[in-house]
Amino acid sequence: QPSGPAEEALRDRRARLQSRGLPRQKPIEGVKQVVVVASGKGGVGKSTTAVNIALALAANDSTKEVGLLDADIYGPSIPKMMNLKGNPELTPKNLMRPLKNYGIACMSMGFLIEETAPIVWRGLMVMSAVEKLLRQVDWGQLDYLVIDMPPGTGDVQLSVSQNIPIAGAVIISTPQDVALLDARKGAEMFRKVHVPVLGLVQNMSVFQCPKCKHETHIFGADGVRDLAKTLGLDILGDIPLHVNIRETCDSGQPVVISQPESDA
């Protein structure tokens, strides 16, 4: 590609035009690092992994303050997994105070609506809710804010990526081909909006029979590892399909906090 003063000026002009109209990134007050946990497809264990990542960050270094933001407006699951109920209090500045459990400050749409009430909203209302969850919460001082993203590559993902500086994204997928197709799209989307992808997590990788200990790759073997090689990314973790992981999250006692010595 030819390079010289004229070509460089043209590239600069193109970059300026492309960035015009994009919102300026503004940090969340009091938050040092933001990590987003995402997946292309729903049902791959993204929220379970996000919860356990937040708890693990706090467990690995007790001097660090960690928060967890549930950006899944239509299907908030953090309240149940973190065993939290109730409405956030308001500060004198009219900011919402996160609810806290296991030392983690949490905010979710689930705290603002009835547990069984569906969110029947169009996109603009969802975007308004995301903006409030990002900007109208008093996080105090956090070293890490883990954001549990909704599945897909739509409005919410773009809005979060373009409005706040993000240290990195973690992509969750099962080894199944159908999930991998969408995981790849998720990784490529973050690259397009200049968010570093920290790596992939292979979830539900192998099932071990509790009686005979025989291992079965229900969703296929090593699909996420192959995708990581293709994309030049790291594998951050390989999580088995284990009943304890599911049961502990469903009961509001995630495995990292309730069974820290277990294999899972």
Residues sharing a CB contact under 8 Å with residue 238, sequence separation 6 or more, in sequence order: 201, 202, 205, 224
CA atoms within 13 A of residue 37's CA, in its CB half-sphere: 28
The answer to whether the beta carbons of residues 243 and 42 sit under 8 Å apart is no
The answer to whether the beta carbons of residues 200 and 228 sit under 8 Å apart is yes
Cα distance between residue 170 and residue 114, in whole Å = 30
Predicted pLDDT of residue 1: 53
Per-position DSSP letters for 167-184, written without gaps between them: SEEEEEE-SSHHHHHHHH
Predicted pLDDT of residue 72: 92
**All domains of the chain in start order, with CATH:** 36-258 (3.40.50.300)
User: What residues of the chain score a pLDDT lower than 50?
Assistant: none
Q: What is each CA distance from 13 to 5, 16, 50, 193, in whole angstroms?
A: 12, 5, 39, 18
Predicted pLDDT of residue 113: 87
The answer to whether the beta carbons of residues 240 and 191 sit under 8 Å apart is no
Q: What is each CA distance from 164 to 24, 132, 148, 195, in whole angstroms?
A: 8, 13, 15, 10
Predicted pLDDT of residue 17: 66
Cα three-residue angle 18-20-24, rounded to 5 degrees: 115
Predicted pLDDT of residue 91: 95
Q: What are phi and psi of 131, to 5 degrees?
A: -60, -40
Predicted pLDDT of residue 168: 96
What's CA 28's distance to the chain center, in Å? 16
Take residue 42 and report the two structure tokens written for it: 């729903």
Cα distance between residue 173 and residue 230, in whole Å = 15
CA atoms within 13 A of residue 204's CA, in its CB half-sphere: 17
Closest among 151, 211, 194, 200 to 175, alpha carbons compared = 200
